[in-house]
Amino acid sequence: MDFRFTAQEETFRATLRAFLDQELGEGWSGHSGDTLFAFEDEWLEAVAFTRRLARHGWVAPHWPVEYGGAGLTVMEQLIFNEEMALRNAPVVNGPGIGMVGPTLILHGSEEQKRRFLPRITAVDEIWCQGYSEPGAGSDLASLQTHAVRDGDDYVVNGQKIWTTNAHHADWMVLLVRTDPDAPKHRGISMLLVDMRTPGITVHPLPNMAGLHTFNQVFLDNVRVPRTHLVGEENHGWYVGVTLLDFERSNIGANARLRREFGRLLAALRDSPYQNMRTSLRAQLADLAIAIEAGRTIAYRVAFLQSQGKIPNYEASMSKLFHSELAQRLANVCVQAFGLAGQVLPETTWHAPAGGRFCLEYMESVPATIAAGTSEVQRNVIATRGLGLPRA
Ligand SMILES: Cc1cc2nc3c(=O)[nH]c(=O)nc-3n(C[C@H](O)[C@H](O)[C@H](O)COP(=O)(O)OP(=O)(O)OC[C@H]3O[C@@H](n4cnc5c(N)ncnc54)[C@H](O)[C@@H]3O)c2cc1C
């Protein structure tokens, strides 16, 4: 077992750090995660930053150079994700970079790869994910949005919900039912949909912090060219779950926790409000151990990818572990400072870490729901990982 990185990988890390020093200094001070999508000025800054990454081929570093990537190895991509997360770097277009692109590389036609991938890496087109519906979340295969062939097009009708960042998106990766008579997993197809197509309406859906990060999307007789079908018709379920495996692997999650844990320790050292009880010290020690253990889980996902495998239950393990750990950490953050830890930035200057802990707490709640709930991840681990029978 050798956990060291190679000399080439360390050189890449140093080059990236120099770039980030110049671009972001200690790190991006704006909002992070989905919260960024609610602040127009920060969104525009983030787009500009991502375009500066594009000049180095670093929007999707391990994609092939011909599609606008930098052709780096999976391990270099891991280093990239770690360093970016440690600086809280505001990269936009997660669904395009992390899900749509890798799925097209595996399942897309050559024409689709050439049309869509370079525009993702150039940050010319932003993507959103149209999977969930009011009656189809964990049980995604129950989705009702349907597409009917008409000449060279599909005609799509239905509704999607919780569509993150649809209000900025140019394209949507959409799951639709194309055979209503087939067993529910078999009659689904994946389409790539231009968000400017007539018949698409995007309605804001404010989150629990009152911020506009996700949306409802209504599709009313929306015409989608048949050339925008990914893979075979009615085989979209299998294409779609590949995308979920990419979504869950999320190897930056551990670095984000390390960053937030470091911020907590720094705030505790500085704050007049903290009360370093024995129980708090014990909680901090436990968090330090869990974050270290999580790093190994995250590295395993990257290792599997570096072997050309698609992590499946291993990705679920990482997603489950890190999203639940993020909630534990956020809980400790708000409690460590008494009432001062529970105020938002704009409410008072007393808020430790500029009121970030309260926002992080609210942001951590959906982490165990988005991209498949914790219960669903446990089901995946039990059945596909441990080989246990389905209930
Ligand atoms: C912040 C955020 C962003 C999101 N962004 C997007 C997006 O961009 N695009 C998109 O398509 N979707 C998005 N989603 C939706 C997300 O994928 C769904 O919320 C998720 O799949 C859960 O579905 P649901 O909300 O319908 O809950 P339900 O599926 O109705 O689940 C309700 C409860 O029942 C439990 N449950 C359900 N089935 C089982 C089972 N078989 N075994 C045990 N327990 C079960 C669940 O764990 C949960 O606790 C987002 C969600 C969040 C929170």
Q: 236-245, pLDDT tens digit by residue?
A: 988 877 666 6
Give the mutation target among 37, 369, 381 for probing the ligand 1 site: most ligand atoms within 8 A of CB.
369
Q: What is the mean pLDDT of the chain?
A: 91
State the average pLDDT over residues 244-272.
81
pLDDT of 96 reads 94
Give the mutation target among 208, 241, 373, 390 for probing the ligand 1 site: most ligand atoms within 8 A of CB.
373
Alpha helices, DSSP H only, in the chain? 7-24, 40-54, 74-86, 94, 101-107, 110-121, 236-249, 253-270, 278-306, 313-335, 356-364, 374-380
For ligand 1, atom 3, name the residue with the nearest CA.
370
pLDDT of 74 reads 82
Q: Return d(Cα 42, Cα 139) in angstroms, integer.
A: 35
Q: Return d(Cα 252, Cα 126) in angstroms, integer.
A: 20
Report how far ligand 1's centroid is from the alpha carbon of 94 (Å). 18
- Give yes or no for residue 211 having a pLDDT over 70: yes
Report how far ligand 1's centroid is from the alpha carbon of 26 (Å). 35
Q: Return d(Cα 168, Cα 177) in angstroms, integer.
A: 25
Residue range 113-136, pLDDT digits in tens: 999 999 999 999 999 999 999 999
State the average pLDDT over residues 10-27.
95
pLDDT of 309 reads 85
> 373: Cβ below 6 Å to ligand 1?
yes
Annotated catalytic residue within 42, 82, 133, 247: 247
Beta bridge mates, 216 = 203
In percent, how much of the chain has pLDDT > 90? 65
Q: Which of 158, 139, 136, 133 is nearest to 148 (CA)?
A: 158
Ligand 1, atom nearest to 95 Cα: 8
- Give yes or no for residue 248 having a pLDDT over 70: no
As to burial, measured by CB atoms within 10 angstroms (0-12 exposed, 13-18 middle, 19+ buried), residue 210 is exposed
- Give yes or no for residue 145 having a pLDDT over 70: yes
State the average pLDDT over residues 52-58.
93
State the average pLDDT over residues 372-376.
94
For ligand 1, atom 30, name the residue with the nearest CA.
137
Q: Is 247 part of the annotated catalytic residue set? A: yes
Q: Which of 59, 53, 52, 192 is nearest to 116 (CA)?
A: 192
Ligand 1, atom nearest to 132 Cα: 11
167-193 in b/e form (b: 16+ CB < 10 A) is: bbbebbbbbbbbeeeeebbebbbbbbb
Pairing of the two strands 146-150 and 229-230:
unpaired
Structure confidence at residue 160 as a pLDDT band (50, 70, 90): very high
The pTM (predicted TM-score) of the whole model is: 0.92
Q: Which of 139, 113, 129, 250 is nearest to 193 (CA)?
A: 129
Amino acid at 73: T
- Give yes or no for residue 350 having a pLDDT over 80: no
pLDDT of 159 reads 98
> 165: Cβ below 6 Å to ligand 1?
no
For ligand 1, atom 38, name the residue with the nearest CA.
138
- Give yes or no for residue 337 having a pLDDT over 70: yes
> 131: Cβ below 6 Å to ligand 1?
yes
> 379: Cβ below 6 Å to ligand 1?
yes
Structure confidence at residue 48 as a pLDDT band (50, 70, 90): very high
pLDDT of 73 reads 87
